[in-house]
Structure 1
Amino acid sequence: MHQQLLLTVFLGLLLQPSVTLAQSIDACAETRLQTNTRRAVVTPQHQQLMSKYDITFYKLELEIERDRTFINGKVTLQANAMQPLDVFAFELHPNMRIDSVFVNDQQVTNISRDDANAKIILSSPIAASSIVKAVIYYNGRTYTRQGGSIGYGFNTAVEPQWGNSVTWSLSEPYSAYEWWPTKQVLSDKADSVHVFVTTSAENKVGSNGTLTRVVDLPDGKRRHEWKSNYPIAYYLVSVAVSDYEEYTLTAHPTGAPAPIPIVNYVYRGGALEAYKEEIDYTPGLIEQFSEQFGLYPFYKEKYGHSMAPIGGGMEHQTMTTQSTFFFTITAHELAHQWFGDNVTCASWEDIWLNEGFASYAEFLALETFNIPAAYEWINGAHQQALSRPNGSLKVSDTTNVNRIFDSALSYKKGASVLHMLRFEINDDAIFFRGLQEYQQRFAGKTAYTSVFKKVMEEVSGLALDYFFEQWFEGEGYPVYTFEWKQEGSRLMLKSTQTPSGNTPFFASNLEFRLVLANGQDKYVRVRQEQPSQEFILDLPASLQALEPDPDSWLLMRVQDILENPELKFMKPAQPVLYPNPTYSQNITIANLTFSATEAAVYNAAGQKMRHYTFSPNLKPVLNTTGLSAGTYIISLTDGRQYYQTTFVKAGDTP
């Protein structure tokens, strides 16, 4: 959709922004949190057996109806043997009865089952590097609990508003085994998947990839044959069955060789009329995200939606399952096609690489069309993250679904941390180029936070160890007290930071809006690298008010802002620094009131360029060779006192 049309329909949505925005991340998280009894389901010994092969292909051939959870199925698991195999292990819920099994076209009758742990005992071992094709015939009514219509791997319900019967899957994180034989290992993506579903002729079936054909069968049945040739994680394989109405759009992102179809399966009975304007945002969002993250990763197939009463959305690859079409839900689930589907977190401890990124995409979508709504969103995200003073992005207990999909941490703190990383890099072109590089380098694969960090370091040229140690490994956030005193044109600003949790200190750039008596606002950016730090600033008029972080970049709590007449200025004699401007020569710092032992040089963007150490009681001398021409900030300290000023590098030679 053209941006002008998207803007027109979006402005109507923003007449009630608080209602719209409140649905966003919480709805996505709620979809998963209803699985709070789910855990990783097989034993470590069984996981070891499954590690002996690499999945290459899934084919699901299922008989499903829209009003029941009974499945009659045949599933093919094709793999490469990484080690010699005398056992082929997989996962399947005990509710499901195995009828027969064939391995490499030979029937095998020796099947061992212990809860979810299923093993095919092979009469003839399979050599390493060989292809293994296991075909499993099975049937049964899928696992549910009374009242548990959401949050199990396979469900059916009558949607209360529109009266449609729907059967759908929702496998994240550990529920695929409830409805098909599988291997629930994030790092082992299949190279491709086929999903063939036979159902009553009046039904439609939503699934992954392209609907290659619909075959008429006897007894009023049809087989819907979906095929996808992109790598896919086990939990993204999906089905949704109902007597849907179909509504198709196209997106035209830059770089796509052909329009991308957007296939929407919507409830009959008025749902399309109710949701059409909201669904119509989707092409414009695909086009926007393709500019920011790189071309939509599944452009050779499609994108789309299948409706199901799941209380939010689930980013099934190429065809999201959604219960509604709020702007931020649609943006969130679409963004998962890049962050979660194309590049999938390699461990559930890194779930923020999926959910934090998709959540931040909600902000990016709003930022494009309505800045006030975007700031409302990011401030709300910060506030929810601040509710967890001891919380960490890193998930320490990956068996706990509640923790994996914690809205305050994996979603909103994840979005806040990305927003801060963008601020730290301080160059949007570089920030988005980093996201694009991450997508390109790990397309169809899985990734850990450590590799995302490495990509962003390479693209930005910054050392980001400290950032990820604080914000991924660390806990909580900084709490600030700001004090100031003005004498003439000089302002002393003292920033004191205490932690909310166990992480002792958060090194960060800080931005302030200084409201001056002459009616002007001055914005300043400084770098805090110790818990208590003083900054000397020059002002053209008296300070009337001090506003930290005016543009809501930082996850932080401000405890107090106060004028403190007891602050004492450092009074070094002039000149403090010479020669200034300088060429490729040493700079000497003289007449400080303390003996500096360390100095750091930052460019105008706040990026650290140099770090120096000095012997006590010696006059600091800094070599500027190799610095490009420009204005720099130099910070000097003895570990207790602090002084900051600027110098100009004029070039390499006079």
Structure 2
Amino acid sequence: MHNRRPAAAALSLALVAALSVGCQVGGPGPGPSAPTTPADRPPTAGSSPVVPSQSSAGDPYVPGNGNGGYDVRHYSLKLKIVPSDAKKTLDAVATIKAHAQSEMVRFNLDLAGLDVSQVKVDGRKADFDQEGGELVVRPSASIAGGSDFTVTVAYSGAPKAVNDPILGQYGWIRTPDGVAVACQPSGAHTWFPGNDHPSDKATFDLTLTVPQGLTSVSNGESGPASTRNGLTTTKWTVKQPMATYLAMIAVGDFKVKEGVTPGGIPITVAVDSSVRVPSIDDFYRAKAEITDEWTKLFGPYPFGSTGGVIDNAAVSFALETQSRSIYGDFDPGETIIAHELAHQWFGDSVSVTQWKDIWLNEGFASYAEWIWGERMGGESVQGRFDSLYEQTSPAAWQVLTGDPGRERLFDSFAVYDRGAMVLHALRTKMGDEKFFSLLRKWAEEHRYGNATTAQFVDLAEKVSGQELSSFFQAWLYEPTRPPR
């Protein structure tokens, strides 16, 4: 994600007007976490295990989100979206194909704020209850461990944005002419039932039906649109596994441009007709150029298409929604576009196992942003590193990059800048050839999967031929400025 900053270049993750999952505007966030002594920190190579339960993925950064007991393989979402209908904006059917990891007589799906009318498991009606943000399903017969099963959920209502006192607003956001959906870290369950945690990735089909005259855009690749009875339907297909928070929808009055990058990658961009800058041609050009350049640095592009959407949403962030990043109503500039596109490798294809390792997303994308800024003739990467190292206050260093805490999940310095500084310091130790080989190997070895900081440390040691535990301990887990 990327939050816009009043200074030079903005970061680029995305998620809230006050959420540093993307582009945050204005003053500082919550105060720094209390200093933690090194003895209290887990060793770099260690990682607290995820302990899922029936109703949670066991991630303390997003308590209650995700579920245990099964692995989702595919989501098929048929969504009728009528933005003008305040009571029934969404009328939908979700079909979920999953694999049971153990015998289940009941299981949970994450779903909040919507009305479920029917649930079927393998074609048979199932009993269900809605308890807060959970849909509790009791199939007519137990599901055997090791077996595949299919859940169908019919539901409707008016999705609402998440307003988290710490993370801010994100999820289903109304726009003047439609909706924009950006869900980091866990807003997907406001518009479809599922296992809403990045540790359970799946392929998707999204069939979007909207009033004639509006355009719908989503992840992946689309078939031809069809119009009937005043409604236009478009099917989008995501063939590579995707975390739920990376699923996106934009509905509105869009200008759309499609084509192929000079490097041969299909590209689709959309800009709301009310957005004045950038032009759709400039947006298309930047997306195409940067996508191709990142393939040279990070390896083959991991998805079937690239692109992005600029919507007239009153938010100040961008989010790296898979294959098609989404931006609020502002001119992102090339450095933010570069940040979001780098996420396609680091965050989307290679996803975190737990949110405490968010620097593996944001630090990597921020470093790519620095590189692109230097290529544009801006401040050098070394100059950026030096100024941050010398000028950042001691208090800012107290937030731990490798485990910033829920309140600092999107901390602009600890997660974004210090995360990028970790990589530059590592590049200095390894040299360019080995460092960029490391990034390509990381993207290749964990392609379409999940990974941890401990795994990155292990790979860095293998590629560099150096012992790096003390280096990563100092940069990721010490509440002080590391030695240069």
- Normalised by the shorter chain, which TM-score bucket? 0.7 to 0.9
More displaced, 439-448 or 60-69?
A: 60-69
CA shift digits 1:586-606 (9 cap, x unpaired): xxxxxxxxxxxxxxxxxxxxx
> Deviation at 1:112?
2.1
> Deviation at 1:338?
0.6
> Deviation at 1:278?
4.9
Q: CA separation in 2, counterparts of 1:211 and 1:141? A: 25
Give TM-score scaled by structure 1 length: 0.62
Ranges in structure 1 where 5+ consecutive residues have no aligned partner: 1-17, 38-42, 159-164, 254-258, 479-505, 509-654
Indicate the residue corresponding to 1:23 in structure 2: 10
Mapped pair 1:61 → 2:78: yes
Please say if residues 67 and 156 of structure 1, whose CA atoms lie closer than 8 Å, have aligned partners that are also in contact. no
Please say if residues 17 and 169 of structure 2, whose CA atoms lie closer than 8 Å, have aligned partners that are also in contact. no
Please say if residues 208 and 216 of structure 2, whose CA atoms lie closer than 8 Å, have aligned partners that are also in contact. yes
Q: Percent identity?
A: 26
The 5 A counterparts of 1:309-348 are 309=313, 310-323=315-328, 324-348=331-355
Indicate the residue corresponding to 1:203 in structure 2: 214
Indicate the residue corresponding to 2:474 in structure 1: 470
Please say if residues 278 and 325 of structure 1, whose CA atoms lie closer than 8 Å, have aligned partners that are also in contact. no
> Deviation at 1:153?
1.5
Q: Write the letter of the residue equivalent to 1:91.
A: D
Of 148, 160, 167, the residue aligned with 2:179 is: 167
Residues 201 and 272 (structure 1), Cα distance of their counterparts in 2 relative to 1, 3 Å cut = farther
Q: CA separation in 2, counterparts of 1:280 and 1:302? A: 12
> Deviation at 1:65?
3.1
The 5 A counterparts of 1:551-590 are none
Tell me which structure has the larger Cα radius of gyration: 1
Of 236, 240, 245, the residue aligned with 2:250 is: 240
Please say if residues 298 and 345 of structure 2, whose CA atoms lie closer than 8 Å, have aligned partners that are also in contact. yes
Give the SS at the match of 2:397. coil
> Deviation at 1:213?
2.6
Indicate the residue corresponding to 2:69 in structure 1: 52
Please say if residues 28 and 329 of structure 1, whose CA atoms lie closer than 8 Å, have aligned partners that are also in contact. no
Please say if residues 54 and 107 of structure 2, whose CA atoms lie closer than 8 Å, have aligned partners that are also in contact. no
> Deviation at 1:329?
1.0
Indicate the residue corresponding to 1:603 in structure 2: none
Q: Write the letter of the residue equivalent to 2:298.
A: F
Indicate the residue corresponding to 1:180 in structure 2: 192
Residues 25 and 240 (structure 1), Cα distance of their counterparts in 2 relative to 1, 3 Å cut = closer
User: Which has more strand, going by share of residues?
Assistant: 1
> Deviation at 1:204?
1.3
Q: CA separation in 1, counterparts of 2:247 and 2:278? A: 29
Of 337, 350, 374, the residue aligned with 1:367 is: 374
Of 389, 399, 407, the residue aligned with 2:397 is: 389
Of 114, 134, 151, the residue aligned with 1:134 is: 151
Give the SS at the match of 1:316. coil
Residues 113 and 270 (structure 1), Cα distance of their counterparts in 2 relative to 1, 3 Å cut = closer
> Deviation at 1:459?
1.2
Q: CA separation in 2, counterparts of 1:112 and 1:410? A: 38
The 5 A counterparts of 1:99-178 are 99-108=117-126, 110-144=127-161, 151-158=169-176, 165-178=177-190
Mapped pair 1:84 → 2:69: no
Q: CA separation in 2, counterparts of 1:405 and 1:26? A: 9
Q: CA separation in 1, counterparts of 2:293 and 2:392? A: 27
Indicate the residue corresponding to 2:464 in structure 1: 460
Indicate the residue corresponding to 1:601 in structure 2: none
Q: CA separation in 2, counterparts of 1:391 and 1:460? A: 27
Q: What is the Cα-based RMSD across aligned positions, in Å? A: 2.8
Higher relative contact order (CA 8 A, sep 6+): 2
Residues 197 and 151 (structure 1), Cα distance of their counterparts in 2 relative to 1, 3 Å cut = same
Mapped pair 1:352 → 2:359: yes
CA shift digits 1:115-149 (9 cap, x unpaired): 1122111221111121111010001112348999x
Of 180, 189, 203, the residue aligned with 2:201 is: 189
CA shift digits 1:564-595 (9 cap, x unpaired): xxxxxxxxxxxxxxxxxxxxxxxxxxxxxxxx
Residues 96 and 335 (structure 1), Cα distance of their counterparts in 2 relative to 1, 3 Å cut = same
> Deviation at 1:432?
0.4
The 5 A counterparts of 1:393-472 are 393-395=401-403, 397=405, 400=406, 402-425=407-430, 427-472=431-476
Mapped pair 1:303 → 2:307: yes
> Deviation at 1:84?
0.9
Q: Write the letter of the residue equivalent to 2:444.
A: Q
Give TM-score scaled by structure 2 length: 0.83
Give the SS at the match of 1:321. strand
Give the SS at the match of 2:146. coil
Alignment size in residue pairs: 437
Q: CA separation in 1, counterparts of 2:82 and 2:388? A: 40
Mapped pair 1:71 → 2:90: yes
CA shift digits 1:384-423 (9 cap, x unpaired): 57651312102253xx3x4111111111110111111111
